[in-house]
Amino acid sequence: MLIKSLVYKKNYLTTVNEKATLAEALKILEDSGFRCVPILDDTGTIFRGNIYKMHIYRHKSQGGDMNLPVTYLLKNATKTIKVDSPFFRVFFNIKDLPYIAVLDEQNHFYGILTHSRLLDMLSDAWNINNGSYVLTVLSDNDRGNLVRMSKIISKYTNIAGCLTLDVKTGELVRRNLFTLPVGVSRDTMETIVRKLEKKGFVVAEIEDLQSGMTIRSDEKPGEFLAD
C-alpha cells in the first residue's frame, strides 16, 4: 500500500495523552520543537485530534486556565485517512494541515503522513535527481495521446518519470510532464521535441534539471530560448 509506506508510525512519534493539561501539553510541544502533535486516548490507540502550540500560546496570553485538559483546544478530530485509502484522497484531506492522522483497518491510530513525505514522494515520481530535462507537453483529451507521446520519446531514450496535470472534467488541455534520464544530450532532447511537434503536440516548456535553467517557456512555445 502506497500510503502505508509513507507513514511515520506512532511508536516513533511525540504524542499527548488526552488527560494531560494544557500546561503539560505546552511543555511537550516546547521540548519537542513541534508546532502540533496528536492527542491520543489512554490506550494510545484512539486518535482524538491535534493540539497546536499557537492555540495554547493564545489561550495563555488571554489569561486562560492552563490546568484545563488538552482536549479543550483539540483540533482536527475528523481529519483522518485510512491506511488503505486511495492515494488521491490524501490531497482532499491534508490541505493546510502539517500532517494528517492515519488510521488502520480497526480505526486505531497508525501514525501520521506529513506534507514533507508527500512532497518527497512527488519529487521521486518526477525523478528530478536522476533527470536531465523535463518536457511539458500539451495535448487534448483524445484517447491514446499518452501512448503516442511515450512512443515518440521512447524511440530516443527511456522515460525517467511522467506526471499528468490539469485532469479535470471538461478540461480540454492536459499538461504531461516527461522527465528524461541523466545522460540525454541536448541534441537528443531537441530531436524529441521536433518529433513531438511534428505529430501535433505542443512542447510548452523545457527545463534543464542539471543547470536549473528554463530552455523554453510557455510565453514562447515553438522556439528555444537563447543559452
pLDDT tens digits along 14-67: 999 999 999 999 999 999 999 999 999 999 999 999 999 999 999 999 999 999
Interatomic CA distance for residues 216 and 188, integer angstroms: 16
- Say whether pLDDT at 227 is over 80: no
- 2 band by pLDDT with thresholds 50, 70 and 90: low
CB-neighbour burial class of residue 66 (10 A; exposed 0-12, middle 13-18, buried 19+): middle
Angle of CA points 21, 73, 13, to nearest 5°: 70
pLDDT tens digits along 138-162: 988 788 999 999 999 999 999 998 8
- Beta strand 174-181 with 161-165 is antiparallel
Ordered domains of the chain (ranges, CATH) = 2-120 (3.10.580.10), 127-216 (3.30.70.260)
Interatomic CA distance for residues 169 and 166, integer angstroms: 9
Predicted TM-score (pTM) above 0.95: no
Percentage of the chain beyond pLDDT 90 is: 66
Mean predicted lDDT score pLDDT of the chain: 88
